[in-house]
Amino acid sequence: MNIIVCVKQVPGTNEVKMNKETNTIIREGIESIINPFDTFAIEEALRLKDAHKGKVTALSMGIPQTAQLLKQTMALGVDEAFLLSDRAFAGADSLATSYALSMGVKKIKDYDLIICGRQATDGDTAQVGPSLAEKLGIPHITYVNKIEEIGDGFIRCTRLTSEGYEVIESSLPALITVMEDLNVPRLPSIKNLRDAKNREVAILNISDINADSKFTGLSGSPTQVVKTFIPEYNISSEMIEGTPEEQAEKLVDNLLSLGLSFQ
């Protein structure tokens, strides 16, 4: 079984700064980590590899430094890694991202299953996985918290819903997005970390994957950030003195001054 796992680089901090001109995240000078939700996707891919043989390929899109994070996936047991890196990909929303990734998958070609984390911590849209599946013309199952069975040409999963759980069976190839209670991600050994430093990550540009620039980056993004700001919280407080009756009367007066009414 050949598995592609999608990996995203995200800021390793909550203090995210934005470029006011392009309304994109400023990643320079900020420590980057593997999207925490993607670590569960990597672990599940490796477990399936152990159980069914085959290989695991990591795929990401980002700046050249993302290659270092992909080497971390190799230290965990990923067999090969591809990074889509080109200025033409910059500023992509979820639609443009899924298009570029779909072209990367087509470049890789041989796969039975694609696994993604349920969402990215720097976007929280949960759209890239399903959109990627649609662009590839394959079925998808979202919010998977257990893989029940994988057989000849099918996968059966339990997925979380707002009302409980569903068991869904799909043909392969397919794409799934996984929840954080699916597994416990492993840690790399010191030896594997050392060995991974010398391994190569294949870096592909827009020409390498035959992508159309009209559908990548800002030009291929129908949704764009038009304004970013840090919420301001102005909280004032007042201590009401007096007897309980006086305090209650003063509180009612204050609420009425705010336009509240009592029936």
Encode pLDDT of 87-108 as tens digits: 999 989 999 999 999 999 999 9
Least confident piece of the model among 9-23, 30-44, 119-133, 185-199: 9-23
Least confident piece of the model among 13-17, 18-22, 109-113: 13-17
Q: What is the dihedral of CA 213, 33, 43, 103, to 10 degrees?
A: 0
Structure tokens at 152: 């000849």
The pair phi, psi for residue 69, each rounded to 5°, is -70, -35
Mean pLDDT in the chain? 89
Q: What is the mean pLDDT of residues 4-27?
A: 72
Whether 14 shows a pLDDT value over 70: the answer reads no
Report the alpha-carbon distance of residue 129 to residue 139 in Å, rounded: 11
Report the alpha-carbon distance of residue 55 to residue 7 in Å, rounded: 16
Encode pLDDT of 26-67 as tens digits: 656 667 899 999 999 999 999 999 999 899 999 999 999 899
Give the amino acid at 105. Answer: V
Helix (H, G, I), strand (E, B) or coil at 132: helix
> For the chain, which domains are there?
2-220 (3.40.50.620)
Encode pLDDT of 227-254 as tens digits: 766 677 778 788 899 999 999 989 888 8
